[in-house]
Amino acid sequence: MKAFRKELTFHTSKRREFINITPYVDACIRESGIKEGLVLCNAMHITSSVFINDDESGLHHDFEQWLEKLAPEKPHSQYRHNGFEDNADAHLKRQIMGREVVVAITNGQLDFGTWEQIFYGEFDGKRSKRVLVKIIGE
């Protein structure tokens, strides 16, 4: 069995942003040389997510609105976590959007359903943050 590990770094210009990271994960699979196996992809921070969904801008707008209803960013004073920090909403948003995804690799390709794409969900951006890609297989 082979194993491959790589960290991807993202630095968003906005506090909240969704980035389609599928091409980066694809590149990791090619670099690993693994044809049959599994890829794990997880956010290495507790205020960002990795999740699978559709690459459709209307849906991304809907996610943003829905998350803001569930855990509005402001007022910052509504959260006990906010004192030294102002990112309580980002912790809550990350929790519901998830930490990681696992995808099968078949014939050296991501074995996706029709519309599946991998996204990095940033909820407290404007700084460099990391995503771990771990691939095992042969």
The residue (of 14 and 113) whose beta carbon lies closer to Zn ion is 14
Nearest to 25 by CA among 4, 46, 11, 44: 4
The residue (of 31 and 85) whose beta carbon lies closer to Zn ion is 85
The residue (of 32 and 47) whose beta carbon lies closer to Zn ion is 47
List the x/- string, 39-78, binding to Zn ion by CB under 5 A.
----------------------------------------
Establish if 127 lies at the interface with Zn ion (CB under 5 A): no
Report DSSP letters for 78-106, one per residue: G-TTBTTBS-HHHHHHHHHH-SEEEEEEE
Establish if 87 lies at the interface with Zn ion (CB under 5 A): yes
CB-hemisphere CA count at 13 Å for 128?
Answer: 3
What are the distances in angstroms from CA 9 to CA 45, 70, 128? 11, 28, 6
Establish if 85 lies at the interface with Zn ion (CB under 5 A): yes
Query: Footprint of Zn ion on this chain (CB under 5 A)?
Result: 85, 87
